[in-house]
Structure 1
Amino acid sequence: MKSRLFLLLWMCCSVLLTACENEDPIPEPPVAGSRTVLAYLASDNSLSSFALADLEEIRLGMEKVSANNVHLLVYIDSNSSPRLIELKNEGGELVENTVKTYENRNSVGVAETLEVFDDVFKNSDYRAESYGLIYWSHGDGWIPNPLPSTKWVGQDTGSGTHYMNIEDLVTILSADAVPHFDFVLFDACFMQSIEVAYALRSFTDYYIGSPTEIPGPGARYDVLVPALFSDGEAALKVATAYYEPYEEIYNDGRGMSNTNWTGGVSVCVLKCAELETLASITRQLLPENANGDELRSLVFDYDKRSLRSGHVGYYDFVQLMQQLTDASGFAAWKQVYDMAMPLPYWKHTPKNYSAFGGMFSMEGSNGVSHYIPSASKQSAAAAFRSTDWYKSAGLSKLGW
């Protein structure tokens, strides 16, 4: 009897031991306060020289980061040798490691971008308590390329001309390996639009961008990189680090060059958790029907391109709602809008520079753009109707 009982116990223990051996090891928890940031420079285009200059600034910025619980990964494709590198400050000395090199590629393709994201976010060495993302390239807000898709950011001209539409970026950010971000910064033109911010609301706490064309050199990364790894309100500090270097040298565009950008800048931060509430109150307050062409003539337009040079029209969201609502309705709406900018952070120099329209006043602007369809641009209007924002904010009510 005892021998049978012993045999039974031995068999049970063997099963338990086998089960334990087959279990996947439990990953170590991330180091408290740790942060991993990926800067994705899709620069196989006319901006390639700026990307190389920015990479040098990133190196200088990382020399100022003393924390040892952070990871800065930079993907750069500047006409040749696409590569993923890691920059570290080890005891005051900058160490640069090439994590991976890639064949010449379309760096705005979904599969190609996902490969890079997997190489970072599936790597246990880069697991962290919080994450940030910088997307660096050409940008054109929500507008698609080609129409009537939806909207795009990122251009690759290495072999033909390719664009990343925003729905492609949504696909990438939805991948299992990609974490939720504390902040996403777009170092690209026209990206602070409600249509794009709303599309990305589930993937980041804070969305940072400019409603205008950005300076040719982009962010001053020697200043911005330390802010990426700051404690507290990192998104606010990142936006400040983007804005202040240009504010300091602003001179109404006088003597401006890419090495002395005196033409100003504008930067805005949105809190994504409030955007669904903003969509809801927008839907509640919209009137029946609205003349888009008339509104386009009344509302501030951040887009200074001519029709011939590709004008889309990025109109000030706050001014648009002022036109569409009465005083009490606008006051209720503005209260919710202000909750989506709780830091608050909307900074602009008195004027900004457009490569197409020169210096222009920023008076009356509020930091976030919204499309207003035109009867003469039916393909763009069709693309606009496909956006999540159009559907959630009930814009069909306007007859758009």
Structure 2
Amino acid sequence: MKYTQYILILLLSIIFVSCRKEDNEPDITERTVFMYLPWSTNLTSYFYDNITDLEKAIAEKGLEQEKVIVFMSTSSSEAEMFEIVYNKGICKRNILKEYTNPQFTTETGLTDIISDMKSFAPAESYSMIIGCHGMGWLPVDYSSSRTKEIFKYHWEYTGRPMTRFFGGLSAEYQTDIATLAQSISNNDIKMEYIMFDDCYMSNIEVAYDLRYVTNHIIACPTEIMAYGMPYALIGKYLLDKNPDYQSICNEFYSFYSTYKYPYGTIGITDCRELDNMASIMKIINSILSFDSSKEELIQPMDGYSPVIFYDFADYVKNLCGENDDTYAAFTEILYKVVPYKAHTEKFYSASSINPIPISTYCGITTSEPSYNKKANNYTNTSWYKATH
């Protein structure tokens, strides 16, 4: 009898301890949206506005099966992670963790930050919003000769409207795309989408590097004004379990077509189609060579000289030349790769005196034909290796 009582007490103790452990663990929610804002020097005030605008969307929609976690660099050496909590029409920011010298440019450091997000808000699915400066696929430039170069990045121009490398204004605050991809993979996460609120990130080379860690990429093929994405308008779609990507494009266009600087471009990339795109491009590259004399015929998507980013479809059209069937096979896949897009009549670039007209637009860029010295490492990209 005593033995039976002992067993019963032991079982009750185990159940009690298990219940206490479960009570201390966060509930698994349906969706977690992670807003990631690493140190970007002159964009901090815009980030606060972006968060406030997202809270407006949350107040309109409410939060049911969603959580919103924000990592925000408040200075070059400090950051905080907080949850936006909604209750009775009011949004509050609950601090979850404070950071000193977060190593967000390294695989280990970024892996840990994403792990923190995952532990604070475990979910059935995740999405990520990244706000900072951007420079497409270009790797972080640690060169000591940088100061001797004549080349100026778009964020180095003064006296012009400001636009938004993946990170800050110097190499110590910039993160390579491969590091982002590996850090997400290390956490065993595949995002529903990664939205880059940065310049030049709707780029075939970037998307290919991220194809296994996200289903979709929302990004701009050109520069985006410092205001960034119109979160108050698109936030409700970003929070949905099944984001309405067409509406995101529509609201983006609606906002920027009437903004004081009426320049904006956006594209939605379905990363699940990128292996098919790489296959068709490998076939095209095996039978055709680009005529460099046609470079000036391609739609530029930046204001640099020489151009770094070109409209992807227009490049392939000039590559194919008279091979209409080949180009048709390409476009059939392209419509699946970029199913949604929008643009104003012109795009703005801080490195160009005047806004640049858009005559043809597919929503994603490539640097394949560029002879700008900043694209010298192009043959080292995963996209180039997969398509040649």
- Give the TM-score normalised by structure 2: 0.81
Please tell me whether the aligned partners of residues 62 and 225 of structure 1 are also in contact (alpha carbons under 8 angstroms): yes
Q: Are 1:366 and 2:362 an aligned pair? A: yes
* Structure 2 residue aligned with 1:279: 278
- Give the equivalent residue in structure 2 for 1:270: 269
Match of 1:331 in 2: 328
1:197 to 193, 198, 207: 207
Q: In terms of Rg, which structure is larger?
A: 1
Q: After alignment, is 103-112 or 353-362 more displaced?
A: 103-112
* 2:167 alignment partner AA: G
Residue type at the aligned position of 1:340: V
- Asked if the contact 1:52/1:78 (under 8 Å) is kept, the reply is no
Question: How far apart in 2 are the matches of 1:28 and 1:110?
Answer: 26
Instruction: Report the alpha carbon displacement of residue 129 of structure 1 after superposing the two structures with TM.
Output: 2.5
Q: Is the 8 A contact 1:35 1:69 kept in 2?
A: yes
For residue 154 of structure 1, give the secondary structure of its aligned residue in structure 2: coil
Equivalences for residues 16-35 of structure 1 within 5 A = 30-31=28-29, 34-35=30-31
2:138 maps to which of 126, 139, 143: 143
Gaps (5+ residues) in structure 2? 144-164
Alpha-carbon spacing, 1:41–1:380, altered in 2? closer, same or farther (3 Å):
same
Q: Does 1:245 align with 2:245?
A: no
How many Å separate the matches in 2 of 1:116 and 1:28? 17
Aligned sequence identity (%): 25
Q: Number of matched residues?
A: 351
| TM-score between both structures, scaled by the size of structure 1 | 0.79
- What is the RMSD of the two structures over their aligned residues, measured on CA atoms? 3.0
For structure 1, list consecutive stretches of 5 or more residues without a partner in the other structure.
1-9, 251-259, 395-400
Contact in 1 for aligned 2:215/2:271 (Cα 8 Å): yes
Maintained 8 Å contact 1:49/1:78: no
In 1, the alpha carbon distance for the partners of 2:370 and 2:26 equals 54
| One-letter code aligned to 1:133 | M
Report what 2:162 is aligned to. Answer: none
1:384 has 2:378 as partner: yes
Name the structure 1 match of 2:313. 318
1:137-176 equivalence runs, <5 A: 137-146=132-141, 152-155=165-168, 161-175=172-186
Contact map agreement 1:293 1:374 (CA 8 A) in 2: no
Q: Distance in 2 between matches of 1:277 and 1:181?
A: 20
Aligned with residue 183 of structure 1, among 189, 193, 216: 193
Letter in 1 for 2:55: R
Report what 1:349 is aligned to: 344
- 1:290 correspondence with 2:289: yes
Please list the CA deviations of residues 292-325 of structure 1 after superposition, one character each: whole Å capped at 9, or x if unmatched. Answer: 6424222111110246xxx5x1011111111122
User: Quick check: 2:26–2:122 contact (8 Å CA) kept in 1?
Assistant: no
**How far does residue 128 in structure 1 lie from its aligned partner after superposition?**
2.0
> Is 2:246–2:340's contact at 8 Å kept on the other side of the alignment?
yes
Task: Report what 1:36 is aligned to.
Answer: 32
Tell me the secondary structure at the aligned position of residue 304 of structure 1: coil
- TM-superposition CA deviations, 1:51-106 (whole Å, max 9, x none): 12222223323222323211001111132641011002123221220011111445
Deviation of 1:178 (Å): 4.4
Shifted more, 297-306 versus 271-280: the winner is 297-306
Whole-Å separation in 2 of the counterparts to 1:28 and 1:145: 37
Partner residue, 1:129: 124
- Structure 1 residue 223 corresponds to structure 2 residue 233: yes
Give the match's secondary structure for 1:354.
Answer: coil
> Given residue 110 of structure 1, which amino acid in structure 2 is its aligned partner?
E
1:74–1:375 distance in 2 versus 1, CA, 3 Å: closer
Instruction: Report the residue type matching 1:194 in the other structure.
Output: I
Letter in 1 for 2:365: S
TM-superposed CA distance for 1:374, in Å, is: 4.9
1:279 Cα deviation from its structure 2 partner: 0.7
The one-letter code of the counterpart of 1:380 is: A
Summarize deviations over 1:333-385 as a string: whole Å, max 9, x none: 111111212xx3110011121112131111212211111345573x733x211
2:47 counterpart residue number: 51
Between the aligned partners of 1:327 and 1:209, the Cα distance in structure 2 is 29
